[in-house]
Structures are given as structure tokens and as C-alpha cells.
Amino acid sequence: MNIDGVAAIVTGGASGLGGATARLLASLGAKVTIFDLNAEVGQRTAAEIGGLFLPVDVADEGGVSEALAAAAAAHGVARILVNCAGVAPAVRIVGKDGKPHSLDAYRRAIEVNLVGTFNMLAQFAACLIAAGTAGEEAGVIVNTASVAAYDGQIGQAAYASSKGGVVGLTLCAARDLAQHRIRVMTIAPGIFLTPMMASFPAEVQESLGRQVPHPSRLGD
């Protein structure tokens, strides 16, 4: 897919994997819109890459609809969507204090990581189909799962559940949207030292890094 001049949306694009993705797409000529809740960092990243920032909660149906319309008004209907927005609570099912995992925290991970991914995917695809894009390929959707979907670690019950859901969604979405010439795929990155990971205690970061076979460290 030649992305030079093509409109793209990156959720969670203010920083971390999403920020790196936004920068790469922009460097290849794409017109990038960042959807994120971190306005300060998101606006800075967008300015650096000559893109657009919009404050968006990916799990908010109305908010996503409005943001897609705003992005299209600025850059044209997007043909590339990369879903990177996510949260990663580090909570054991039963804590050292004997208390069970907060159901609100569990729901929040599912809401952002899985429901948010589906919300973005469905609304993006609907906009693309309505636009009637010509050519062999109308667009592409890249979701972000995680190695945790297959190899979840201690304290990742909510996160691994949500990312497993993204994996399960992928093939269904690809089959549903193939008739509209929209490709759907999911990547499952290993453990990266993103700003979200950096918020974990140092001992948690070190423990996760040691569990990577080779090299035994967090990804950059």
C-alpha cells in the first residue's frame, strides 16, 4: 500500500508504540491524525510530525464518531487505522492484602483495550465504505494485541483478557470486511518500555525484563 499522501489515524498516538507509529507513518508521507487522551503530549507529537491531534476516548461511541468526522474534514477520509490505545493495570487476582482484583479496574481494561478497539474498527470501516474508495484496496486496519494474549504474566489478568479478545476479533473482522477491500490484522508486540510500562514500579519492570528469553530486557 502506497501511503504517501494517504490519511491515517493512530489511536494512543501521543507516545509509546503509538507515538512511534505516528512518526513512522508521517515520515512515509501519510497525513496523520492522533487520537489520544493525553492532550499535552499528543499536541506536541502532532506538531512535531505535521499532523493533527484530537482528544478522543476510543470507547466513547459518540466521541469517536465526531473525531472521525473532524479528521476527515482536515485530511480526507482515512484509509489507515492503527489501534494502539490501551491501558495495562498491574493487579493480581488476589492481592497480598487478600483483596480480590477490583472489578472496575478489570472492566476498564476491557473497555479501553477491547471495546475501544472494536469501536474504532467498526466506525472507521463504516466511514471508509461510505466514501466509496476506488482501487484494489480501500484501506487497512492494524490492531495491537500483545504477547500477553498468549503468554500472560503475573498481575496481567485484565490486560491479557482484553488482548486475547483483540486476537479473537481479528479474523472475524478480516472476513467481514474483506468484501469491502479492507484488510484487518493484529500484531502482538513483546514487552516494551513504553511510558505506560515506565509507570510500573522498578522491580516490576526488572522482573518482566528478566522473563524475556533473549535479549533479557524490555523492548525499546
Q: Which residues are catalytic?
A: 159
Q: If you ran DSSP here, which 8-state letter would residue 187 be given?
A: E
Burial zone of 112 (CB within 10 Å; 0-12 exposed, 13-18 middle, 19+ buried): buried
Helix 61-75 vs helix 116-131: crossing angle, to nearest 10: 40
Cis peptide before 215 (omega within 30 of 0): yes
- Cα separation, 17 vs 1, in Å, equals 21
Q: In the numeric block, which cell numbers belong to residue 135?
A: 482501487
- Where do the DSSP E strands lie in 45-202? 52-55, 80-83, 139-144, 182-187
